Amino acid sequence: MANDVIDEQEKSITQSVSQRYAKAVTDGEQLCCPTGYNHDDLEKFIPDEVLKVSYGCGTPVGLSTVQPGEVVLDIGSGGGIDCFEASRKVGHSGKVIGLDMTDEMLSLARTHAPTVAKNLGYPNSNVDFLKGLADAMPVEDNHVDLIISNCVINLAPDKKKVFQEMFRVLKPGGRFTISDIVADQLIPQYMIHDSVKWGDCLSGALTIHNYWGGLREAGFRGLHQITVTPWRVIDGIHFVSVTLTGYKTVVASASSLPTFATLTGPFSQATDELGTTFHRGAPQQIDQQTMQVLSLPPYKDHFVIADNPVALTNQDPPWLAVLPEEAPCIWEGHFAILTGPFLSVSDDDDHTYQCGEPLEICSKTLKVLQHQHYQPVFGTINRARESVTADPVICSTSTECC
């Protein structure tokens, strides 16, 4: 009985969102949040009717990694803007699949697909637009090289199923790059049951901890941010626009040869997505599965991988450390959020950060996390509701600064 009620609620949410986006095709309502599209470039081959109904919270920068001939899937393709850009990137030998649940959006995209193909110089379109839901994709297993999605997954009531479907349709070695809205804390029930806020990309937002956790549970590894941008604050809840990438790794083969990994920093300690903890400078033997994970782009710059143990000291060039200033600090309302790929990391000031969990930091720590070696794996928000006039304090364990 309880499951039936949940199913009806999910159907109601899905129907409400679909109706609102269908209406936007005709009345031009601007949905979700501002995007980063370069219309001056896109209007060279994409009709204006498509550009006018392009919604989202970022541009799936994963398209910059596309190779000719690849298969790209766009979840929530809408009027087709990202599919048409992907079409240009993969070339005529590639294929693009646009998936959407709204008939009006599909009709618009299908209508303009031949025009886009002609403008790109293709004999016919390489884009197929399919009707379907993100949690039940009409796409075969192990078929797609890259999944993109722009502020759509937060609209799905059952994100666990969406993440499982993403993993199912990706080829081993495939990847995703998606833009979405996340929150710094759990969404309260009064928002969850507000149908208007679902269409505004608010009610369905997960925390970073739960979003990243759901993707990892589905099997993805190497989860990391591309961009993190504060968007809106409603009733004390911080909504953030993120673009993130992750990978479906191939099945690791067994090897009799030992392999060692040494953490170079900037962290003093880090735990990878398989739960292995590394200490900076200390070599550790790893298995093939761990080596595969540490070889992914967001990991490889933090490790030395070798057949023999490689120990490092702070005198060795690979060693990285970013030390805080020797000066008083100020509490200004800043909170840091580790965005992966690690499950947890520690800095050189005895802070330990858990992925997706906001941790209050002082002004000195903020400066550390803005360093080029830390910045790619952290987002920051400021929860202070008024200007802060706090006095400087000397950092020590008694002030709970370190």
Q: Tell me where in the chain the CATH 3.40.5.100 domain(s) lie.
A: 334-399
User: Percent of the chain scored above 90 by pLDDT?
Assistant: 70
Q: How far apart are CA 378 and CA 373, in angstroms?
A: 10
Specify the pLDDT at position 254. Answer: 72
At 7, the amino acid letter reads: D
Reported as a single tens digit per residue, the pLDDT across 318-363 is 999 999 998 888 999 999 999 989 999 999 999 999 999 999 999 9
Q: Tell me where in the chain the CATH 3.40.50.150 domain(s) lie.
A: 2-247
Give the CA distances from residue 308 to residues 152, 278, 286, 314, 394, in Å, rounded to whole numbers and listed in that order.
46, 16, 11, 20, 43
Mean pLDDT per 10-residue section of the chain, whose length is 402 residues: 49 52 49 62 89 70 85 95 94 97 94 97 97 96 96 91 98 95 94 80 91 98 94 93 94 80 98 98 96 96 96 97 92 95 97 97 96 96 80 56 52
Per-residue tokens: 291: 């080596």
CATH 3.40.50.150 fits 2-247, yes or no: yes
Quote the DSSP letter at residue 399: G
Give the CATH fold of the 254-321 domain.
Answer: Ribosomal Protein L9; domain 1 (3.40.5)
Percentages (nearest 5) of helix, strand, coil residues in the chain = 30, 25, 40
Specify the pLDDT at position 33. Answer: 56
Specify the pLDDT at position 54. Answer: 72
Neighbours of 392 (CB within 10 A): 12
CB 14 within 8 Å of CB 101: yes
CATH 2.60.120.10 fits 334-399, yes or no: no
Q: Which residues contact 25 (CB under 8 A, 6 or more apart)?
A: 53, 79, 104, 105, 108
The end-to-end CA distance of the chain, in Å, is 50
Specify the pLDDT at position 210. Answer: 97
pTM for the full predicted model: 0.88
For residue 380, the cross-strand partners are: 336
Q: How far apart are CA 292 and CA 286, in angstroms?
A: 10
